[in-house]
Amino acid sequence: MVEPSTFSRPDEKKKFVRDKFSAISGRYDLLNSLLSLQIDRYWRWKTTRLLRQFPTGPVLDLCAGTLPLSLELTRQARERRVLAVDFCEDMLKNGKKALPSDNRKDRIFPVCGDGEEIPAPADTFYGCTVAFGVRNLARTLQGLGEMYRVLRPGGKLLILEFSRPTNPLIKPVYSFYLNKVLPWVAGLVSGDKEAYEYLASSIAGFYEPEVLLAMMREAGFTQVERKPLSFGIVSIYIGSK
Ligand SMILES: C[S@@+](CC[C@H](N)C(=O)[O-])C[C@H]1O[C@@H](n2cnc3c(N)ncnc32)[C@H](O)[C@@H]1O
């Protein structure tokens, strides 16, 4: 089992995370739908709706992976342009292969880059989304500072991330699913059980919501708030520049 505390240096975590996503990149979308019973679509839809005041963009989709959120961002607004940044080339490649033939493929610009040193000038984007990526950053505050830097004044940050349900009925069921069922099924389908053990331990070891909200404030964000979804299995964290 890979505990988040296993990494003593940021570079070690970056290498581990990049290699793991590279190894599962071909099966990532299938596993996502399978393991979340497609509820992830609803979570992405909810997140994207919060950017409806910026229908054209540009929007930054950070840790974009195989581009599921970039697709939703461009589906909900027909003129919106999205820069999709991820440091794992294989995740982006698989996302590009699966882009639909409509004009969304001309409005999504995938770029290989590090979320802790975003390859874009200051004050560029109306919105920045990060779906299931912040937990994977090696230096969270550095990443949040970069998100703040590249947003325009008035721009909005939306972080969609796993949190931990507190409902006493849901909590044990979810914990059993996350620690036992998920790595086993994911191991069978992806051939890489360790990647999904990391998923479980990284969720367990991630900051409490209040701590992440405090870090967002420290990075400069205002009007910071959290919206729990699906019994708090995930949360949307919102901040403004
Ligand atoms: C769980 S996937 C999420 C992908 C996608 N956003 C989604 O909603 O399914 C996390 C992604 O974060 C990327 N990632 C992790 N650390 C990163 C960093 N420092 N810079 C850029 N991408 C990073 C990984 O390569 C991976 O593709």
**Among protein residues, the one whose CA lies closest to atom 15 of ligand 1:** 136
CB-based contact 151:222 (threshold 8 Å): no
Q: Is the CB of 197 under 6 A from ligand 1?
A: no
Q: What is the pLDDT of residue 207?
A: 93
Q: Is the CB of 148 under 6 A from ligand 1?
A: no
Percent of the chain with pLDDT over 70: 98
Q: Is the CB of 21 under 6 A from ligand 1?
A: yes
CA of 65 from ligand 1 middle (Å) equals 5
Query: pTM of the predicted model, to two decimals?
Result: 0.94
Q: Is the CB of 110 under 6 A from ligand 1?
A: no
User: Which of the listed residues 86, 111, 144, 147 should we mutate to test ligand 1's pocket, taking the one with most ligand atoms within 8 A of CB?
Assistant: 86
Domain containing residue 198: 4-240
Mean pLDDT across 135-146: 96
38 — pLDDT class (breaks 50, 70, 90) = confident
Q: What is the mean pLDDT of the chain?
A: 91
Q: What is the pLDDT of residue 6?
A: 65
117 — pLDDT class (breaks 50, 70, 90) = very high
Is residue 119's pLDDT more than 60?
A: yes
Give me the count of residues in the chain: 241
Asked whether the bond before 58 is cis by omega within 30 degrees of 0, the reply is: yes
Question: Measuring CA to CA, how many Å separate 237 from each of 73, 199, 206, 221?
Answer: 17, 19, 14, 11
Q: What is the pLDDT of residue 190?
A: 73
Tokens of 178: 């996350």
Q: Where are the beta strands (DSSP E) in the chain?
A: 59-62, 82-86, 108-112, 125-131, 151-162, 222-229, 234-240
Q: Is the CB of 183 under 6 A from ligand 1?
A: no
Q: Is the CB of 35 under 6 A from ligand 1?
A: no
Q: What is the pLDDT of residue 24?
A: 86
CA of 86 from ligand 1 middle (Å) equals 6
CA of 92 from ligand 1 middle (Å) equals 10
Q: Helix 89-97 vs helix 10-24: angle between axes, to the nearest 10 degrees?
A: 30
Q: What is the pLDDT of residue 195?
A: 73
Query: Under 8 Å CB-to-CB from 216, ≥6 apart: which residues?
Result: 144, 157, 159, 224, 237, 239
Percent of the chain with pLDDT over 90: 71
CA of 170 from ligand 1 middle (Å) equals 27
Half-sphere exposure of 14 (CA within 13 A, CB side): 14
Beta-strand relationship, 108-112 and 125-131: unpaired
Mean pLDDT across 33-53: 92
In whole angstroms, give the CA distance from residue 168 to residue 149: 40
CA of 38 from ligand 1 middle (Å) equals 19
CA of 63 from ligand 1 middle (Å) equals 3
In whole angstroms, give the CA distance from residue 118 to residue 177: 35
153 — pLDDT class (breaks 50, 70, 90) = very high
Could you tell me which residue, 93 or 1, shows the higher pLDDT?
Answer: 93
Domain count within the chain? 1
CA of 169 from ligand 1 middle (Å) equals 31
92 — pLDDT class (breaks 50, 70, 90) = very high
Q: What is the pLDDT of residue 187?
A: 79
Question: Measuring CA to CA, how many Å separate 11 from each of 120, 125, 201, 226?
Answer: 22, 27, 19, 30
148 — pLDDT class (breaks 50, 70, 90) = very high
Could you tell me which residue, 196 or 14, shows the higher pLDDT?
Answer: 14
CB-based contact 166:175 (threshold 8 Å): no
Q: What is the pLDDT of residue 5?
A: 53
Mean pLDDT across 207-231: 97
Highest mean pLDDT pick, 2-6, 42-46, 53-57, 190-194: 42-46
**Among protein residues, the one whose CA lies closest to atom 23 of ligand 1:** 63
Beta-strand relationship, 222-229 and 125-131: unpaired
Backbone dihedral angles phi then psi of residue 139, each to the nearest 5 degrees = -130, 95
Q: What is the pLDDT of residue 1?
A: 43
Count of CB atoms situated within 10 Å of the CB of 121: 8
Highest mean pLDDT pick, 31-35, 149-153, 196-200: 149-153
Strand partners, 150: none
**CATH number of the domain encompassing residue 168:** 3.40.50.150
Is residue 3's pLDDT more than 70?
A: no
Tokens of 15: 């290498």
Burial class (CB in 10 A: 0-12, 13-18, 19+), 53: exposed
